[in-house]
Amino acid sequence: MAGDKRNKRQKREDYRAALQEEASTELPRKKFYRQRAHANPFSDHHLAYPPSPDHMDWSSLYPDYVAEESQEGEAPPVKASSVADGQEIESAAQKLIKRLTQDVEVADIGCGFGGLLIALAPAMPQTLVLGLEIRVSVTQFVEDRIKALRAQSQEQKLYRNIAVLRANTMKFMPNFFRKGQLSKIFICFPDPHFKTRKHKQRIVSTTLNSEYAYVVRPGGIVYTITDVPDLHGWMVQHFDAHSSFERVSEEEQEADPCVAIMRSETEEGKKVERNSGQKHVALFRRLEDPPFDDEPDKMEQ
Helix (H, G, I), strand (E, B) or coil at 224: strand
175 labeled part of a ligand binding site: no
21 labeled part of a ligand binding site: no
Q: Which of 103, 191, 227, 230 is catalytic?
A: 191
275 labeled part of a ligand binding site: no
110 labeled part of a ligand binding site: yes
| Per-residue three-class SS string for 81-135 | HHHHHCCCCCCCCCCEECCECCCEEEEEECCCCCHHHHHHHHHCCCCEEEEEECC
209 labeled part of a ligand binding site: no
What secondary structure letter does DSSP report for 295?
S
Name the strand (E) or helix (H) holding 222.
Answer: strand 216-226
Which one, of 225, 234, 221, lies nearest residue 265 by Cα? 225
101 labeled part of a ligand binding site: no
161 labeled part of a ligand binding site: no
User: Which ranges in 124-228 belong to alpha helices (H)?
Assistant: 136-152, 169-176, 206-215
266 labeled part of a ligand binding site: yes
267 labeled part of a ligand binding site: yes
- Catalytic residue check, 191: yes
Sheet holding 182-188, edge to edge: 162-166, 128-133, 104-109, 182-188, 216-226, 280-286, 245-247
C-alpha 74/C-alpha 54 separation (Å) is 9
Annotated binding-site residues for S-adenosyl-L-methionine read: 110, 133-134, 168-169, 188, 266-268
Q: Which residues are catalytic?
A: 191
Q: Which residues are annotated as a binding site?
A: 110, 133-134, 168-169, 188, 266-268
